[in-house]
Amino acid sequence: TSFGDYGEYFESIDSQKIPTGHIVALVGDKIRKANSQDQQCLGVVSKTAGIILGGSGFCWQGRFLRGEFGILTQEIPDPKWKPKDGQTEEDRPLITVEVENPNYNPEQEYVERAKRPEWHIVGLLGQVHVRIDKTVLVGCYIKSNDDGIGTRDETEQGWYVMKITTPYDEEKGYGVAM
C-alpha cells in the first residue's frame, strides 16, 4: 500500500458516515460534505494517510483533565519506590502523572474512533484521492460541487490535479483524481 497524505480524525456533524474521497468542510470542530458555497475546504476523507493524528486509540479522549495547552499533570510520591539502606520517606522521589478526570469510568468499554462510523480520517496534506465529476482534467484545479465531489475550478484557486487514477464513470457518478 502506498501512503500519500497526512490525516487527522474528525467527527461528522450528523454522526453519519461520509464515503471516502469526498471533500469536507468544517462546521465548528466537526465535518460535513463540502458544497459549492464553501470558501475553504478542510480536506478529503482518506484511506491513504500514512500519519494519522487524533485517533484516541487506547482510551476515552477525556480521561485526563486538560488546561489551556493540554493534559494537566501533577507530581506525586513514586508508589514503586523501595528505600535502600539509610533512606527515609523524605528521600522518596516524585513522579509526574496525568490528572485523571473524575468523570472517567474505567468500567465502561471504550470503542476507538477507527471503529466508529461517525469518525473519519481527513487527508489534510499530500497526495489525496478525490472523487471528481466529468469536468476534471489533469492539470486543472478543483473545488467542491454541492455533494463534496471535485469539480473544475475555472478560477484556478482550488486544488491542483496531478493525475486521474480512475476515469469518470457515468454509472458510478464519479471518477478519482490525485
Residues with pLDDT less than 70, the chain: 1
Residue 59 backbone dihedrals phi, psi, to 5 degrees: -160, 170
pTM: 0.82
Strand 119-126: give its sheet, edge to edge: 30-33, 23-27, 43-45, 119-126, 5-11, 49-53
Alpha-carbon torsion, ordered 36, 8, 119, 116, to 10 deg? 150
Residue labelled with grid coordinates 474505567: 106
Half-sphere exposure of 93 (CA within 13 A, CB side): 8
**Of 8, 75, 109, 171, which residue is the catalytic one?**
8
Q: What is the pLDDT of residue 120?
A: 97
Q: pLDDT value at position 1? A: 55
Annotation says 8 is catalytic: yes
For 85, other C-beta atoms within 10 Å of its C-beta total 4
Return the amino acid letter for 109. Answer: E
